Structure 1
Amino acid sequence: MQHAKRVAKNTGILYVQMAITVVLSLYTTRLVLAALGAEDFGIFNVVGGAIAMLTFLNSAMASASQRFMSYATGEGNLDKLKKIFNISFKLHVVIAFILVIVLEIVGYFLFHGILEIETNRIDVAKLIYQFLIVSTFFTVVSVPYDAVINAHENMFLVAVLRIAETMLKLVIAVYITYATGDKLFVYGMLMAALSITLLVFRQVYCHKKYEEVAINFSKYSDKKLFRQMTGFAGWSFLGTSTSMIANYGQTIIINSFFGTKVNAAQGVAVQVSGQLSAFATVMLKALNPVLAKSEGAGNRGLMLKASMLGSKISFFLLMLFFVPVLIEMPYIFDFWLKVVPEYTIVFCTLLLIRKLVEQLFFTLESSIAAVGNIKQFQMYRSILNVFPLIVTYFFYNAGYPPQTIYIIFIGYSILLALITLFYAKRDCGLSISYFMKNVFLRCVLSFGMAFVFSAIPLYFLEQGFTRFISVVVLSFVFFVLTVGLVGLESNERTMFKNIIVSFIKKTKANHG
Structure 2
Amino acid sequence: MSTSGNIIKNTGFLYMKMGITVFISLYTTRVILNALGASDFGIYGVVGGAITMLGFLNGAMAGATQRFMNYSAGEGNETKQLTIFNNSILLHWSIAVIVAILLESAMFVFFNGVLNIEPDRIEAAKWIYHFTVISTLFTIITVPYDAAINAHENMLYYAIVGILESVLKLIAALIIVHACIDKLILYGIFMAGITITMLIIKQLYCRKHYVECQINLKRYIDRKTLKDITSFAGWNFVGSIGTLLGNCGGSIVINHYFGTAINAAENVGSQLRGQMLAFSNNMLKALNPVIVKKEGSGDRTAMLKFSLTGSKLSYLLFAILAIPFLIETPYILKLWLKNVPDWAVCFSRFQMAVALMEQLTITLGTTIGATGKNKELNLFCSVARFVPLFIYIPLFANGFQPYWLYVIMFVNFGFIINGFTLYQCKKFCGLNIHYYCKNVLFPCIGCSLLSLGIGFTTYLFLDEGFVRLILSTFFSLITYFLCMFAFAFNKEEKHIIHSLSDSILRKLKIKR
Q: TM-score, normalised by structure 1?
A: 0.97
2:427 maps to 1:432: no
Q: 1:295-310 counterparts in 2 under 5 A?
A: 295-310=295-310
* 2:424 counterpart residue number: 423
Q: Deviations over 1:435-486 (max 9, x none)?
A: 0111100111111122122333224321101111112222332232111001
Q: Deviations over 1:80-110 (max 9, x none)?
A: 0000001111100100110111011111111
Structure 1 ranges of 4+ moved more than 4 A = 506-509
Please give the secondary structure, in 1, of the residue aligned with 2:106: helix
Please give the secondary structure, in 2, of the residue aligned with 1:219: helix
- Paired AA for residue 293 in structure 1: K
Equivalent-residue separation in structure 2 for 1:102 and 1:352 (angstroms): 32
Residue 279 to residue 257, structure 1, CA distance change in 2 (3 Å)? same
2:135–2:191 Cα contact (<8 Å) kept: no
2:152 maps to 1:152: yes
- State the 1:218 CA deviation: 2.6
Equivalent-residue separation in structure 2 for 1:453 and 1:331 (angstroms): 18
Q: Percent identity?
A: 43
2:330–2:345 Cα contact (<8 Å) kept: yes
Q: 1:155-304 counterparts in 2 under 5 A?
A: 155-304=155-304
Gaps of 5+ in 2: none
Q: Supply the RMSD in Å over aligned alpha carbons.
A: 1.3
Equivalent-residue separation in structure 1 for 2:488 and 2:86 (angstroms): 44
Which deviates more, 2-11 or 416-425? 2-11
Equivalent-residue separation in structure 1 for 2:37 and 2:372 (angstroms): 46
Q: Deviations over 1:398-457 (max 9, x none)?
A: 210011110001111020001101100000000001001111001111111221223332
Q: Deviations over 1:283-314 (max 9, x none)?
A: 11111100100000100000000000001100
1:5–1:499 Cα contact (<8 Å) kept: no
* 2:459 counterpart residue number: 458
* 1:365 counterpart residue number: 365
- State the 1:319 CA deviation: 0.8
Which deviates more, 222-231 or 490-499? 222-231
- Paired AA for residue 19 in structure 1: G
Please give the secondary structure, in 2, of the residue aligned with 1:444: helix
- Paired AA for residue 28 in structure 1: T
- State the 1:12 CA deviation: 1.4
Equivalent-residue separation in structure 1 for 2:171 and 2:509 (angstroms): 37
Q: Deviations over 1:24-66 (max 9, x none)?
A: 1111111111111001101111112222221211111111110
- Paired AA for residue 470 in structure 1: L
Equivalent-residue separation in structure 2 for 1:181 and 1:384 (angstroms): 42
Q: Deviations over 1:214-245 (max 9, x none)?
A: 11123223322222111111111111111111
Gaps of 5+ in 1: none
Residue 324 to residue 495, structure 1, CA distance change in 2 (3 Å)? same
- State the 1:506 CA deviation: 4.6
Please give the secondary structure, in 1, of the residue aligned with 2:218: coil
Equivalent-residue separation in structure 2 for 1:484 and 1:439 (angstroms): 13
Please give the secondary structure, in 1, of the residue aligned with 2:219: coil
Equivalent-residue separation in structure 2 for 1:313 and 1:125 (angstroms): 41
Q: TM-score, normalised by structure 2?
A: 0.97
- State the 1:499 CA deviation: 2.2
Which deviates more, 351-360 or 217-226? 217-226
Equivalent-residue separation in structure 1 for 2:71 and 2:506 (angstroms): 32
* 2:37 counterpart residue number: 37
* 2:442 counterpart residue number: 441
Equivalent-residue separation in structure 1 for 2:180 and 2:218 (angstroms): 52
- Paired AA for residue 86 in structure 2: N
Equivalent-residue separation in structure 1 for 2:182 and 2:117 (angstroms): 16
* 1:338 counterpart residue number: 338
Please give the secondary structure, in 1, of the residue aligned with 2:212: coil
Please give the secondary structure, in 2, of the residue aligned with 1:218: helix
- State the 1:508 CA deviation: 5.3
1:66–1:150 Cα contact (<8 Å) kept: yes
* 1:11 counterpart residue number: 11
* 2:81 counterpart residue number: 81
2:477 maps to 1:480: no
Equivalent-residue separation in structure 2 for 1:23 and 1:48 (angstroms): 23
2:502 maps to 1:501: yes
Equivalent-residue separation in structure 2 for 1:100 and 1:363 (angstroms): 30
Residue 503 to residue 6, structure 1, CA distance change in 2 (3 Å)? farther
* 1:119 counterpart residue number: 119
Residue 200 to residue 38, structure 1, CA distance change in 2 (3 Å)? same
Equivalent-residue separation in structure 2 for 1:213 and 1:120 (angstroms): 47
